[in-house]
Amino acid sequence: MTSAGSNRGTGRGDGAPRRKRAPSSAGPPRYPIRPEEWNRIARALKAVAHPTRLQILDLLEGGECNVGEIVNTLGTKNAVSSQQLGLMRDRGVLMARREGNHVYYRVANPHLVEVVHCIRRSCRMNKEDP
């Protein structure tokens, strides 16, 4: 019989020693990230962290659209879409070009689209069935 103090420090409570984690070879090499970079990452995520902005990003992944096409496809009001588009453009998520009276938007940062796809897959995996 072991004493109560013999499992101290193992974290498991079964007396087995802790195993060290092997470094992951699946991902990119790890390197220290400066606080300014964490701030840029947070701003990029905040730039798409709204249901309407996510829908816009999803729509524009298929190619550029003008504001009218975006409004019609999403069923939003012009003012709402324009506000969201402007925010995303200002944050570097989208690029815009003017052609006559129309403004066309397209994805400026395809890596952010990949991140959203990863989050979407993660949410599907974690979804609890009713």
**Is the pTM higher than 0.85?**
no
For tokens 């588009």, name the residue.
Answer: 85
What does the block give as tokens for 110?
A: 């395809």
Q: Taking residues 14-29, what's their average pLDDT?
A: 59
From first CA to last CA, the distance across the chain in angstroms is 46
pLDDT at 130: 47
CATH topology of domain 35-126: Arc Repressor Mutant, subunit A (1.10.10)
CB proximity list for 64: less than 8 A, separation 6 or greater: 97, 104, 105, 106
Residue spans of the domains in the chain: they are: 35-126
Q: What is the pLDDT of residues 77-121, one digit of tens each?
A: 999 999 999 999 999 999 999 999 999 999 998 999 999 999 999
What residues have CB less than 8 Å from 112, skipping those under 6 apart? 44, 47, 48, 57, 93
Amino acid at 3: S
Which pLDDT tens digit goes with each residue over 27-63?
Answer: 676 888 899 999 998 999 999 999 999 999 999 999 9
